[in-house]
Amino acid sequence: MLEVTGITKRFGGLTAVADASLEVRDGEITALIGPNGAGKTTLFGIIAGFIPADRGSVRFLGEEILGIAPHLLARRGLVRTFQIVQPFAGLSVRENIAVGCQLRELSRAAALREAEEVSRRVGMGDLIERPVGALTIAGRKRLELARALATRPRLLLLDEVMAGLNPREIADMVPLIRAIRGSGVTLLLTEHVMPAVMSLAERVYVLNDGHVIAEGKPAEIVADARVVEAYLGHGAADRLARHQISGGAHA
Amino acid sequence: MRTPGLLVLLVLVALAPLPLLVHSDFWLHFAIMTLYFGLLGQAWNLLGGYGGQRSFGHAAFFGTGAYAAAVLQVDFGVNPWACLVLAGLFGAAAGAVVGALSFRYGLRGSYFALVTLAFAEVFRIVADTVPFTGAGVGFQIPLKQAVANFQFHDKPGFYAVILALTALATALAWWIENSRFGAELVAVRENEDAARALGIDVNRTKLWAIVLSGALSGFAGSFYAQYFLYLDPRIAYGVEVSVTALLVPLIGGVGTVFGPLIGAVALRALNEVSGVITGGAPGLNLMLYGALLIVILAFVPDGLVSLGARLRASRPLGKLGHA
């Protein structure tokens, strides 16, 4: 569904993404993980058309999409959410979601009705008339998801939808994302919350300093020494391994 | 908050028989100027209120419409009614030019306001130098009173025309609140990146808003030309028109259907009072406008139209207090 090949992006002297490649297969949940500042959000921005890339190619449904404006990509079915939630602050939950519905639904009244259905899908049916200002962070994250879902995407890019949520809220979010995939939407997500990624993703890419340093099934990724080092620092994998041999109990 | 369509219709219909009830020329002139302010304010409101693109130079569209109407009828013999329509088109075209240039380069907030002000000033300077506007001398439309000429011998004729134009503008604001385009426009105002991510063509949406706004301002310009039969660059492209266009909705309530009408009543009333206080010294009314604006921003930042909602909201609390 999505093939990213050799994407490079520099901001002045800083290379945010260096020759990154990844593939998102139809109907799967693919995760992009990595420490803070690894370039995940930049790569997301490039895929969704918000940030121009210096080099590389992004193919969506077999067509090159690099350089196509975000709103046109949304019409083709590639929609992103934002890590820092971007609600239409002065509007109600229903009006927010209806903006998403309107991409496919020409009638305003029908869009406002359809918004109700979408709000139930993400479990905020009882909040529909609330002003956005009255929502908690978890509520705003859900709204971000609902609005994107309302556009009826084929590929949904979720940028850290679980960041800032408490364990309880994360536990609620995981089945929701699984249900979205169940409804036929392919997902690419960036995430910090590792247990969530492990239980959700079929395929994981690890980004560090702009480079894709590992890819594979979640279980393979956690066992990869390079990934452990990227998160915990140089030599950490060695120390962990020694610790495991002597201590044993930690898995 | 959505305004019921029936209420909009009722208010507009209720305004229609005013000339049958009021015969004083003074009050009819007051009503005409109020509606004219309402039209100008609503034009600004479509772009600045619903679209969040706050212009400081609506005179650019108003003046272009006014000069188009005047020059086309006097120098080219076009029927003044046709000129009214053409003034709308010229105003829309001026809006399209200003909009295409500023939105293309992503100008927002105070930068957009400054660029519109600059456009209005450039147009004023051009109007001051080119021969066909009569330059500094001004441009006179010869008095030829006839309905076919869009020149009425009494006030009720002008009242009917300005009411129709203001009703059109008000209906447009109501449509904005209830249409897909309006929802997109409000989404763009609230958050451009989010709107873009949801498939909205942000620049095209803003461009349509400024074109509609320019068309209504062009109508206002044409009406002004027919009502006063005289234009000069300062009247057409001066700061006063731009300030009026933005003050009316700011005072009445930005991004609401009735805000501009209510703001227009308040501003016209203040205008009459200031005439008495200052003995009609030109420009002093702007000082009073500024004072009013400060009071409104300090005490009713959502405009006079929000007073009604506030009273309604405070009533149940009052009852609780008594019980």
- pTM equals 0.89
- Neighbouring residues of A212: CB distance < 8 A, sequence distance ≥ 6: A20, A21, A22, A205, A206
Predicted pLDDT of residue B1: 52
> Taking the mean position of all CA atoms in its chain, how far away is CA B312?
29
Query: Cβ A71–B184 below 8 Å, yes or no?
Result: no
Cα–Cα separations (whole angstroms), residue A73 to A36, A63, A220, B108: 27, 11, 33, 24
**List of E strands, B47-136:** none
Q: Please answer yes or no on whether A86 and B193 come within 8 Å at the CB atom.
A: yes
Contact present, A88 and B190 (Cβ < 8 Å)? yes
Beta carbons of A88 and B190 less than 8 Å apart: yes
Nearest to A34 by CA among A20, A53, A49, A23: A20
Contact A99 B184 (CB under 8 A): yes
Beta-carbon separation of B197 and A70 below 8 A: yes
A99 contacts in chain B (CB < 8 Å):
183-184, 187, 195, 198, 200
Q: Does B183 touch chain A (CB under 8 A)?
A: yes
Say whether residue A249 is in contact with chain B using an 8 A CB cutoff. no
DSSP state of A63: E
Whether residue A70 lies within 8 A of chain B, CB to CB, comes out as: yes
From B190, which residue of chain A is nearest by alpha-carbon distance? A88
Residue pair A80/A119 in contact by the 8 Å Cβ criterion: no
The runs of H, that is alpha helices, within B105-238 are 109-129, 155-178, 180-190, 192-197, 202-228, 233-237
Chain A residues within 8 A of B184 when measuring between CB atoms: 99, 102
Measure the CA–CA gap between A38 and A214, rounded to whole angstroms.
Answer: 13
Question: Considering only alpha carbons, which residue of chain A is nearest residue B188?
Answer: A88
- Predicted ipTM? 0.86
Chain-chain contact of B196 with A70 (C-beta, under 8 angstroms): yes
Q: What is the pLDDT of residue A39?
A: 87
- Using the beta-carbon criterion (under 8 Å), do A99 and B200 form an inter-chain contact? yes
CB contact under 8 A, B200 and A111: no
Q: What is the DSSP letter of B47?
A: I
For B53-105, how does the pLDDT look when each residue is reduced to its tens digit (9 = 90+)? 999 999 999 999 999 999 999 999 999 999 999 999 999 999 999 999 999 98
Give the mutation candidate from B184, B198, B205 for the A interface (greatest A CB count, under 10 A): B198
Is the CB of A76 inside 8 Å of chain B's CB atoms?
no
What pLDDT score was predicted for residue B319? 41
pLDDT lower than 70: segments of chain B: 1-2, 280, 313-323
Q: Give the closest-approach CA distance of A58 to chain B in angstroms.
A: 17
Answer whether A71 sits within 8 Å of B178, measured CB to CB: no
User: Is A41 near chain B, with CB under 8 Å?
Assistant: no
Query: Which of A46, A47, A71, A157 is the mutation pick for testing B, counting most B CBs within 10 A?
Result: A71
Nearest to B41 by CA among B199, B303, B252, B320: B252
- If you count them, how many residues does chain B have? 323
pLDDT for res A250: 47
Backbone phi, psi, residue B18, to 5°? -50, -45
Interstrand relation of A203-208 and B230-231 (parallel, antiparallel or unpaired): unpaired
Kindly give the confidence (pLDDT) of every residue in chain A, 251 residues in length, as a single tens digit, with 9 standing for 90 and above. Answer: 999 999 999 998 888 999 999 999 999 999 998 888 888 899 999 999 999 999 999 999 999 999 999 999 999 999 999 988 899 998 999 999 999 999 998 899 999 999 999 999 998 989 999 999 889 888 999 999 999 999 999 999 999 888 888 888 888 888 999 999 999 999 999 987 777 888 889 999 998 888 898 888 888 887 777 777 777 777 777 777 777 666 544 44
